[in-house]
């Protein structure tokens, strides 16, 4: 399985929450969407453990099966399509989460997240 981690599940992984550790260990590849990396680094900015948190993230990102994931033109098209669908149904989700969803749908990734608003996107595979 190709897996993408949402911010809340990365935190769960680092806690460590055993069921999330097991999911990540079973994944063939783990992707970290750019919005997740941005949210994590923003959270580190004023934290007392900033340096330690950044070090843990860098170590995790250096694993051979973990990769960052950035948008391209196809992602922008997917974002627009998902945005339109959500707007039409009156069920908008936060902007960063829409970028995460667009990347996952585009690349056929399963998203590991606790956020229930992703339920509004049936084309998004989730754990």
Query: Predicted confidence band at 47 (pLDDT cuts at 50, 70, 90)?
Result: confident
**Per-residue tokens: 105:** 């749908």
Domain boundaries, the chain: 2-120
Cβ contact 33:61 at 8 Å: no
What whole-number percentage of the chain has pLDDT above 90? Answer: 98
61 Cβ contact list (under 8 Å, min separation 6): 32, 68
Tally: H helices and E strands in the chain: 6, 4
Q: What is the pLDDT of residues 8-45, one digit of tens each?
A: 999 999 999 999 999 999 999 999 999 999 999 999 99
Q: At residue 91, does pLDDT exceed 90? A: yes
**What pLDDT, on a 0 to 100 scale, did the predictor assign at position 85?**
97
Q: What is the pLDDT of residue 97?
A: 98
Task: List C-alpha distances in Å: 94 to 7, 82, 91.
Answer: 13, 12, 10
User: How high is the pLDDT of residue 90?
Assistant: 97
| Bond before 16 cis per omega within 30 degrees | yes
3-state DSSP call for residue 121?
coil
2-120 belongs to CATH 2.60.40.10 = no
Q: 48: Cβ–Cβ under 8 A, 6 or more apart, which residues?
A: none
Question: In this model, does residue 94 exceed pLDDT 90?
Answer: yes
Locate the DSSP E strands across the chain.
Answer: 2-5, 29-33, 66-69, 110-112
The secondary structure of residue 97, as a DSSP letter, is: H
Report pLDDT digits (tens) over 96-115. Answer: 999 999 999 999 999 999 99
């Amino acid at each position: 399985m190709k897996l993408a981690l949402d911010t809340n599940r990365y935190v769960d992984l680092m806690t460590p929450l055993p069921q999330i550790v097991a999911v990540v260990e079973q994944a063939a590849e783990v992707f970290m969407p750019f919005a997740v990396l941005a949210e994590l680094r923003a959270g580190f900015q004023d934290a007392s453990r900033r340096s330690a948190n950044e070090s843990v993230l860098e170590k995790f990102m250096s694993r051979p099966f973990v990769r960052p994931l950035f948008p391209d033109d196809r992602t922008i098209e997917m974002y627009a399509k998902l945005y339109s669908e959500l707007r039409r149904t009156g069920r908008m989700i936060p902007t960063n989460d829409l970028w995460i969803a667009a990347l996952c749908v585009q690349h056929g990734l399963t998203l590991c997240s606790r956020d229930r608003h992703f339920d509004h996107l049936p084309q998004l595979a989730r754990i």
